[in-house]
Structure 1
């Protein structure tokens, strides 16, 4: 079964450690996601996030350096396709190559310059989260105590992204910021790597009202494997992911659920779910409990339909 994953943090690891090579399998002990792992697991598309670690300058130079890593050290391979249009998505479906899409996880590096969205779009960025967990010039993050929402510049950035065709990712936003984006955006929004708060009460997970709102706007929710977003204070297992799936299905999210692993963004993986290859085992587990049609929706069909409908037909 093909697979599409809406979030991984390989680029930030490559930014920090220049010795790592995404294309060479002997680095698999230090990278969750490698090209060979994606090929072995029959991935159609992987979204690669640009995230600036705390020990790097949060400026446009670091953002551009990360994008250069994407093109030169990730996507520059005959078995990969850079995806920035619906036509590219169709090419991925028709081949056994892996598509690669750029996402921005936090706009800190733009330093309040909304026009940079146009440059990022031209460079291939198709998703953008406004914050990581903290407050920045655009919005409050989910870990801020103030409970504030979008700034005026943040609102302008959302409007600019709508105009360009960059989808807003709400996974790290405060609740007020989430609702500001949801009300303002004229396009569907996504939560690329968040689970259900009713099942695991972590600030990074989505409330029932947020899940319903994403269903209403025909967005996407990426089921994530971060253990502390899956269970409260206990060892997480693959079976625990089904509690989140069942809860979101009950809220009408059958056509919104996709994969949002967050591979390479955390340590202490769920037992048996450490690399894209292991998602084959997750697939087999889900087939024991759900109809094949839904498992295919979760693994790739929902994501595929969203990308076809929301990426521009051609660059």
Structure 2
């Protein structure tokens, strides 16, 4: 048991809302006690890569591109900087070269610091609302380091309907144009939060396999944000990924929720053939009520020990990080082509 607890199993987490908290409270930096995700906790939980979502809170009013730029600046100043200590992940070559003992890592603002063993940080955009109906802004997002875009949050915007929009529409004309532009740029697409119709339209039109960054199995917990079986099968068929999330209401409908309650979702996706397509997207710092035993990323090591009681090492390593890293090494854009 002691040997297992000392074994490092690299973790990839595909969703957190740290940047939104920073935008709403200028007193919050990347080490603030109010955050679930900090560098210290990432290291404690063996998190090799954390995706930082750009989510524009309704408190700020109508989402605008300047809100996106502000969160990118916070990311640069507090996360991928000598102070924050994480490395910005932009290209597939970055992951391929991660084992180089002499590699100097360039932060987005140009500072070179030897941070070979620090966690990676990937930027995503949660909802295209702030692109203000202009698909060209996707190009600006790409140039500023965003590598993953979800078209909606829960409701309708200029690009598509979200899953909580009752009419259940799909992509708008401009939404189709945005998907086409993302295809041209090599921007990955995230179908969490999309309406069911929008999900199928994105899967039909995307040239790179989409992911669901933070969604669970609807058959286990019938929350609208979770994926139906046919959606899970479709993501498996296109070699996409499904990031199981720690939002308690997506795990079970009521009662206290523990880490063990995620196991039925894992079992169900495995039964559908998705053992090699599962990963995790916690939604840390976007969670109001935490899973017992998964309160912050420092708990991932304990979660790994729980998983190993039920599943073989190879599968557990894949779910924790291997499946996500394989996806990124295949689908992130190449520095040589940009």
Quote the residue 1:3 is aligned against.
11
Counterpart contact for 1:147–1:176, Cα < 8 Å: yes
Following superposition of structure 1 onto structure 2, how do residues 50-61 of structure 1 map, counting pairs within 5 Å?
50-57=54-61, 58-61=63-66
Which residue in 1 is equivalent to 2:5?
Answer: none
Deviations 1:17-68 (A, max 9, x none): 110111x3xx23x100001111122211100000000011400111110111
Q: Secondary structure of the equivalent of 2:326?
A: helix
- 1:31 alignment partner in structure 2: 35
TM-score by length of 1: 0.96
1:1-315 equivalent positions in 2, closer than 5 A: 1-22=9-30, 24=31, 27-28=32-33, 30-57=34-61, 58-77=63-82, 79-92=85-98, 95-314=116-335
Cα-to-partner distance string for 1:185-228 (whole Å, 9 max, x where unaligned): 12100000000000000000000000000001100100100000
Distance 1:272 1:42 in 2: 16
Question: What is the CA distance between 1:96 and its match in structure 2?
Answer: 2.1
Query: Between Structure 1 and Structure 2, how many residues are aligned?
Result: 311
> What is the CA distance between 1:77 and its match in structure 2?
2.6
1:154-174: CA deviations, max 9, x gaps?
A: 011011111111111000001
Give the secondary-structure state (helix, strand or coil) at the position aligned to 2:60.
Answer: coil
- Contact between 1:140 and 1:174, CA under 8 Å: does it hold in 2? yes
Task: Verify the 8 A CA contact 2:164 2:224 in the aligned structure 1.
Answer: yes
Q: Which runs of 5+ in 1 are unaligned?
A: none
* 1:104-139 superposed Cα distances (whole Å, 9 cap, x missing partner): 000101111001111110111000000000100000
Unaligned runs of 5+ in 2: 1-8, 101-115
Aligned residues of 1:44 and 1:93 also touching (Cα < 8 A): no
Deviation at 1:313, TM superposition (A): 2.3
Instruction: Please provide the CA RMSD for this pair.
Output: 1.1
Aligned equivalents of 2:224 and 2:154: distance in 1? 10
For the residue of structure 2 that corresponds to 1:8, the secondary structure is coil
8 Å contact from structure 1 (residues 230, 240) kept in 2:
yes
How far, CA to CA, are the matches of 1:91 and 1:217 in structure 2?
27
TM-score by length of 2: 0.90
Contact 2:46 2:300 in 1 (8 A): no
> How far apart are the structure 1 equivalents of 2:329 and 2:293?
32
Cα 1:76/1:162, change in 2 over 3 Å: same
How far, CA to CA, are the matches of 1:196 and 1:183 in structure 2? Answer: 21
2:104 counterpart residue number: none
Return the alpha-carbon distance in structure 1 between the equivalents of residues 233 and 99 of structure 2. 29
